[in-house]
């Protein structure tokens, strides 16, 4: 898999960090800065950059630059001054250019295989730390780690992370979907055919509207255009739809990946008349109750062999109220045990009949 690797280095101590990303975009650049400042233990007063498109919208004469507004917002958040090299002047940031060559030799050529990007970046960070301790500074006494320990005290304190998203306006389709990078993501049904704001992060997508966060999805990044587009559903977004049309629950694509307990309950409930409506009512419980509590109630109902809406509701209310379900039998204290237990005896009514026949008093 082809990746983009961010190289960030402190000029004085030469401490450096490498971090891999699938794309070279604004949100990934912002994320790389945060992790670099976190690893360095603070923020330098100045940053030297080439004229990358994620930082500079237009290169003017000399040092004149039209800096990207989001990049400038990040620099202002961390309170450092960005400086940009002259075009085709690699010597102005020679330390980073050399770091790229060294990294390819020391790290990337002997890199093990990783199942995901998080594992790779954790390894890169650990390997960078190791190289700080193994590599002599060259100009000052000691290793890179020794000089960094002194430089770290001069860095500006690390603030909270910059909220480094890129915002895109979207319109939700009639089927409650928005498109991004060839893939489609679901949005709550109440926002169908309405505009929303999509906040793009390196690993997730956040949908917002009217000042509120509506939902969040894991971001899918497909580098190859040969791969078919994917649709990512959240079944909760379609509860309002199936409450109006319960029949859509049977073959609706958003409900194909329900939790297993819900799927087992659905298989049993749809066999009887009205099962669609009852199943929708049970799913809708997650809108008012903790989803894990609802799942537990469903699992208990299935285990007890009573897969009905009424029983699930009863179990859920007992769970919410904190009552013990399926606990061991209680031992009755000796003082409360009846010495003479009452017996069911219908013969007493025959005695009443004999009194009535004899002209005795009775209630009319």
- pLDDT tens-digit map of 187-196: 999 999 999 9
What is the tens place of the pLDDT at every residue in 65-86? 888 999 999 999 999 999 988 7
The answer to whether position 38 is within a domain reads: yes
For residue 201, give every residue at least 6 positions away whose Cβ sits within 8 Å of its Cβ, in sequence order, or none.
27, 31, 164, 165, 219
| Mean pLDDT, residues 79-106 taken together | 67
Q: pLDDT-derived band of residue 104, with 50, 70 and 90 as boundaries?
A: low
CA 341-342-345 angle, 5° bins? 145
Q: Are 117 and 255 within one domain?
A: no
Q: Are residues 224 and 275 in the same domain?
A: no
Q: What are phi and psi of 48, to 5 degrees?
A: -105, 130
115 lies in some domain? yes
Least confident of 7-16, 158-167, 331-340: 331-340
Q: Are residues 143 and 179 in the same domain?
A: no
Quick one: how far is CA 59 from the chain centroid? 38
The DSSP code for 136 is B
DSSP alpha helix (H) spans, 107-221: 117-134, 144-151
Of 188, 169, 170, nearest in space to 178 by CA: 170
Q: 213, 181 in Cβ contact below 8 A?
A: no
Residue 214, pLDDT above cutoff 90: yes
Helix axes 144-151, 117-134, angle to 10 degrees: 100
Query: Of 94, 95, 82, whose CA–CA distance to 144 is shortest?
Result: 95
The domain of 131 spans 4-154
For residues 120, 125, 128, 129, the Cα torsion angle rounded to the nearest 10 degrees is -140
Per-residue pLDDT at 97: 58
Q: Are residues 93 and 192 in the same domain?
A: no
Tokens standing for residue 263: 């799927």
Is the pLDDT score of 336 beyond 50?
yes
- The whole model's pTM is what? 0.79
Residues 91 and 189 in one domain: no
Q: Residue 18: is it exposed, middle or buried by C-beta count within 10 angstroms (0-12/13-18/19+)?
A: buried
Q: Which residues of 299-316 are buried (b: 16+ CB within 10 A; e: fewer)?
A: bbbbeeeebbbebbebbb
The pLDDT value recorded for residue 103 is: 63
Query: Between these two residues, 190 and 358, which has the higher pLDDT value?
Result: 190
Residue 364 has pLDDT above 60, yes or no: no
Beta strand pairing status for 81-84 and 183-186?
Answer: unpaired
State the average pLDDT over residues 312-320.
91
Phi, psi of 297 (to 5 degrees): -60, -40
Q: How many domains does the chain have?
A: 3
Residues 221 and 278 in one domain: no
210-236 average pLDDT score: 91
Asked which of 110, 126, 154 is the last residue of a domain, the reply is 154
Among 21, 19, 18, CA closest to 4: 21
In a domain, 356, yes or no: no
Q: Domain check: are 145 and 199 in the same one?
A: no
266 and 219 in a common domain: no
In a domain, 326, yes or no: no
Q: What is the CATH number of the domain that holds 74?
A: 3.30.420.10
Give yes or no: residues 314 and 213 share one domain.
no
């Amino acid at each position: 898999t082809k990746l983009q690797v961010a190289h960030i280095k402190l000029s004085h101590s030469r401490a450096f960090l490498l971090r891999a990303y699938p794309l070279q975009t604004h949100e990934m650049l912002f994320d790389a800065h945060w992790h670099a400042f976190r690893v360095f233990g603070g923020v330098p007063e100045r940053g030297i950059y080439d004229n990358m498109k994620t930082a500079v919208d237009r290169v003017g004469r000399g040092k004149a630059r039209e800096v990207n507004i989001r990049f400038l917002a990040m620099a202002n958040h961390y309170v450092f001054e960005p400086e940009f090299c002259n075009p085709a002047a690699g010597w102005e940031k020679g330390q980073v250019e050399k770091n790229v060559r060294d990294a390819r030799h020391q790290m990337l050529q002997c890199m093990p295989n990783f199942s995901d990007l998080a594992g790779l970046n954790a390894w890169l960070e650990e390997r960078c730390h190791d190289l700080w301790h193994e590599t002599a500074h060259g100009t000052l006494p000691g290793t890179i780690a020794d000089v960094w320990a002194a430089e770290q005290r001069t860095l500006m304190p690390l603030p909270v992370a910059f909220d480094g998203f890129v915002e895109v306006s979207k319109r939700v389709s009639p089927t409650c979907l928005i498109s991004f990078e060839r893939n489609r993501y679901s949005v709550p049904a109440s926002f169908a055919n309405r505009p929303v704001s999509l906040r793009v992060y390196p690993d997730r997508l956040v949908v917002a509207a009217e000042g509120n966060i509506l939902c969040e999805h894991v971001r899918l990044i497909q580098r190859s255009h040969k791969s078919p587009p994917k649709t990512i559903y959240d079944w909760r977004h379609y509860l309002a739809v199936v409450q109006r049309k319960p029949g859509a629950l049977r073959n609706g694509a958003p409900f194909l990946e329900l939790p297993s307990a819900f799927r087992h309950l659905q298989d049993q409930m749809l066999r009887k008349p009205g099962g669609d409506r009852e199943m929708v009512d049970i799913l809708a419980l997650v809108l008012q109750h903790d989803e894990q509590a609802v799942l537990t109630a469903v699992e208990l109902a299935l285990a007890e062999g009573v897969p009905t809406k009424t029983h699930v509701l009863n179990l859920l209310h007992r769970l919410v109220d904190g009552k013990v379900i399926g606990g061991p039998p209680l031992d009755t204290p000796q003082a409360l045990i009846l010495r003479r237990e009452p017996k069911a005896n219908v013969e007493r009514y025959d005695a009443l009949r004999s009194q009535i026949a004899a002209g005795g008093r009775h209630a009319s």
